Each structure stands twice: as C-alpha cells, then as structure tokens.
Amino acid sequence: MNNALITTPVGVMAVLVAVVSFWFWLEKKSNWKIFNYLPPLIFIYATPVLLSNTGLIPYESAAYDFLRMYGLPVFICLMLLNVDVLGAVRIMGKGVFVMLIGSAGVVLGGFVAYALGQYITTPEGFPIQFPLPVDSWKAFGTLSGSWIGGTGNMTAAHAALEGSGEHMTMAAAADQMVYLIWLPLLLGSKAFATRFNRWMRVPANRIEMMDRAAADFNHKDETPSMISLLYLALIALSFTWISLELSEVLPPVMIGGATVISASTWVILLITTLALIASATPARKLPAAHPIAMAIIYVYVARIGATMDLSSASLETMGAFVLMAYVWIAIHGIFILFGAWLFRVDVHTLAIASAANIGGAASAPIVAAHHRESLVPASILMAMIGYALGNYLAILTGRLGQLLAG
C-alpha cells in the first residue's frame, strides 16, 4: 500500500517497536489471564496485520528489508551464543536424547502431515479445504522451526524457505491451537508420575541424581558492561557480514530440479554454524546476548505481520493446516514416548523434553516448575539445544516437503 499514513523507514520501525513494547507492557501491567493462553507473540503478529491492511503502515518498506537482511542474522547469532549443550547433558542425562528423538518426530511428523494434506481431497465449499496448497511445505517448515526450537527458529525458517505472510499466519495459528491442547497434557502428566515411571522401568535413583546435578549448576546473570556489549556487537556484525558475503559466493544446491539451498538459506545455515562454534568459546559467557536477541526477534515478528495481505488469506486452507498439525503433534508424541521407553527416563524429563521442543524457552521452564522446580535451569538449557538444532531441522522439514511436491 503506497498511500499509507506512515511511510518513512524510521517511522515504520517506530511503529513496530511500539507494538512490541505495548503488548509486553500490557501483559506485565494487567496480569490478564488471557495471556496464559494467548501469549503476546500472537498480538505482536496480529496488530501490524491490521495496521498495514487499514493503511497506517505500508506492506513494503526499507525498514522491512533491513530487518530481513541484517536484523535476522544478528538475532540468530546472539540467540545461539549462550547454548550450553554439556550443561544440559550433565543435568538431564539421557533426557537430552529423548528430546532429540522428539525433534526427529517433528521432522518426520511434518513430512507425513504434509503428504496427507496433499492426498486428501474435499469438495468445493467444504469448511476445511483439502488438498493443501502445494507450496504449503513452506508453512510446515516454518512451524517445524517453532516446534524444534522456538519463535526465533520459526522466523529464521520462514525466511530461509522464502515463505509468504500467509505461510507465517498458518504456522502461527496452528502453533497456538496445538499449544492450547499440548501444554495442559504435559502439565497433567505429573499426576501419572508413579505409574509412568514404573511402566518405563525408570531407575530408582534417577530423579535424585538429576536434583544433585541441578544443585551443582550455578548460573548467574551479570550486568553487561560497555565493553561486553561492544564484543557482542563485533561478533554479531562480523558473523552477519561473513555469512552474507559467503552466501553470494556459494552456489545454490539443486535436487531433482528444485533449489533446496538458495542464497537466503545459505545465510541462515552459515550464521547458525558460526554462532554455534562461538558458543564453545568464552564468548558464551558474554551477558545480555539473549535479551537483546529476543527484542530483535519480536520486532521481526511484527515486521512479518505487517507484510501480510488479508485479501490473500484462506480460512478453509488454514483450517486444513491446523487439522494436519494435530496429526503432526500426535506423531511427535509417539516419538517422545518411544524415547522415554528406550532410555528409561521419568515423566518429568519426558514432559520437559517435549516442552523444550514444542514450547521452547518460554514453556519449558513452566513445565519444569510444575513437575520439579529444581529442573528449571536444565529446562532452559534443553530449550537452547532446540535453538541450536531448529534452523537446520526446520529447513530440512520444509525441503522434504518440497521434494515430495516435485
């Protein structure tokens, strides 16, 4: 929309930041229960949709391009700097492998759900319209990012797979619809702890060992200094620059005539790899990386919402996608149960492992606090592992669907 009320890049950016700030302020100030079921993320995405479709801000802006090209890689770098795989393994032990099996269930489940969505057919006028659009593999890859890592991985996968605003809308809607069912199941599983642990043949001393390892884990957030912030800026900007330069040099990867790794995909893969390498160095101890990263990504989510044209949205298609998402989460559930049986872990670990996948860093501590408060730090560490894997596996999920689509 070229005749929007606010068109300058700085004005558009101010609106996006204002939207993010408002919803987090309202959540903290009001304590409304609605935010327990619909987190600020949903409103942060939906508000710019309304603003752009009513003519306050444009669908296209240099501010959006800047966030897409530079803001997203900087976010990924800062998000992954704090990943501590060894810390999670020390506390959760085999539970980390259960989470990885759950991640594999997300990848396979996404592929199966996409395949089913292509082979089911409903008549015209039916409330839920199948088959799904052929390019809906981009929405499956986008949602996979959220279900393996979190919001940041969802936006990274959306960018890497070159998805549209409609694909993000489908993914965000399905994410929340499934979350409203899946989170209560994870919380309620605590009531079956004794019978579950007996059924899974969990060693009697496992929980005691986890509590002991968690007590030894001592992590304190330091107040960032000017020099530490400069170090963060240097790392993030340098890695972004290197990734962008290499993405222009590296050739696209083709399989069966389809481009599975394009220049935009290379950027996401390169920045992810560089950041994970840096997380094995003292750079991981730099404070403030995570809050800065999350501030950037919520503004980026608002940016995606602003590019969504409601005239192209299809409620019938969205309903079909949500239905396939429930099939998808059932497959993840089967995988996570198999992992618990295979490694003989308790129900607390199973619930945290699944929450670290499906809910990410926002939900894993909630589930951990409900099941066993001593495991809250470990749940955050497990979610960080999901951050590390999310970009790779989400892109894989989407590209598998692309190959199936031919």
Instruction: Tell me the domain boundaries of the chain.
Output: 9-216+224-405
Is residue 2 predicted with pLDDT exceeding 60?
no
The pLDDT value given to residue 323 = 94
Q: How far apart are CA 253 and CA 260, in angstroms?
A: 6
The pLDDT value given to residue 221 = 63
Q: How far apart are CA 109 and CA 389, in angstroms?
A: 16
Average of per-residue pLDDT across 243-252? 92
Q: Which two tokens stand for residue 364?
A: 């894993």
What residue type is assigned to position 159 of the chain?
A: A
The pLDDT value given to residue 14 = 96
pLDDT single digits (tens) 355-384: 989 877 777 877 887 887 777 777 877 888
Q: Which residue has the higher pLDDT, 193 or 64?
A: 64
Is residue 114 predicted with pLDDT exceeding 90?
yes
Write down the mean pLDDT value for the chain.
87
Q: How many CA atoms lie within 13 A of 367 on its CB side?
A: 33
- The mean-pLDDT minimum among 39-48, 130-139, 358-367 falls in 358-367
pLDDT single digits (tens) 201-220: 777 777 677 666 666 665 56
- Percent of the chain residues past pLDDT 70, beyond the cut: 94
Q: Which residue has the higher pLDDT, 90 or 330?
A: 330
Largest CA distance in the chain: 68
Residues in the chain: 406
The pLDDT value given to residue 90 = 76
Q: How far apart are CA 112 and CA 334, in angstroms?
A: 13
Q: How far apart are CA 69 and CA 262, in angstroms?
A: 14
Query: 254 φ, ψ to 5°?
Result: -110, 140
Q: Which two tokens stand for residue 269?
A: 């893969």
pLDDT single digits (tens) 248-282: 999 988 776 667 788 888 998 899 899 989 988 99
Q: How far apart are CA 405 and CA 329, in angstroms?
A: 22
